[in-house]
Amino acid sequence: MSRLVLRISENLRRKPVIVMVVFTTWVALAVVAARLGVEDYLTSVYGYQLLPTRKTDESLAWFIGLLPQLLQVAFGFIAIEKRSRSAALITLAAFVADAFADIFYKVSGVPGDPLLLWTAAFMETTMLFTLGSEFLLIAALQNIYEYLPDAIAALIVISQQLTDAIRKSLDAVINLAAGDSSTP
């Protein structure tokens, strides 16, 4: 997973505001990815529930909906890190099951051209929810973990600089009020 971390050059790491902007962006991306992950999960649950098959327990769908996401994350990164074909095959099978349930839910009962509906739902589920939830969440969390020490150090530097600026401003106001105009 370390290959997912986007390195900030040492030159930029010395600029606390840039570090905070990058860190805050990764936190925001993690929040977006988590929300997309919830939507992906729910469409899988509802898609599985809509399948015209008999089920002994409707609550099972809440577990079935999570299974493809977990398999894609776990085996996807095993496939990447270990270059494992069997892990890649499991990831692909989990993606197909996840995408099918999502698409089935998204197009069921929606009027329109079936080819257009299935194509749009496939693009949406692939681009937004597979890349935007599972992959983006892991990339964002990995980068948050990577940048946390830099963000804490940058926050300390920014806080010190802000405190110094406020202190200097207050000193200038006090000196000005006291009639000492020598302080800039």
Q: What is the pLDDT of residue 178?
A: 83
Q: What is the DSSP letter of 58?
A: G
Q: What is the mean pLDDT of residues 90-114?
A: 93
What's the count of helices (H) and strands (E) in the chain, helices before strands?
A: 7, 0
34-89 confidence digits (pLDDT tens): 999 999 999 999 999 999 999 999 899 999 999 998 998 889 878 888 889 999 99
pLDDT for res 131: 79
Domain assignment present for 162: no
Q: How many CB atoms lie within 10 A of CB 132?
A: 21
Burial of 129 (0-12, 13-18, 19+ CB in 10 A): buried
The larger pLDDT score, comparing residue 179 to residue 32, is at 32
Q: Is position 17 within any domain?
A: yes
Separation of alpha carbons 31 and 136, rounded Å: 10
Q: What is the domain range of residue 98?
A: 10-148
Residue 32 lies inside a defined structural domain of this protein: yes
User: What pLDDT band is residue 13 in, cutting at 50, 70 and 90?
Assistant: low
Whether 172 is covered by a domain: the verdict is: no
Asked if residue 163 is part of any domain, the answer here is no
Q: What is the pTM of this model?
A: 0.75
Task: Indicate the number of domains in the chain.
Answer: 1
Residue 2 — pLDDT band, cuts 50, 70, 90? Answer: very low
| 1 — pLDDT class (breaks 50, 70, 90) | very low
- 156 assigned to some structural domain: no
Residue 176 lies in a domain: no
| Residue 174 domain-assigned (yes or no) | no
Instruction: Report the chain's mean pLDDT, rounded to a whole number.
Output: 87
What is the model's pLDDT at position 142? Answer: 84
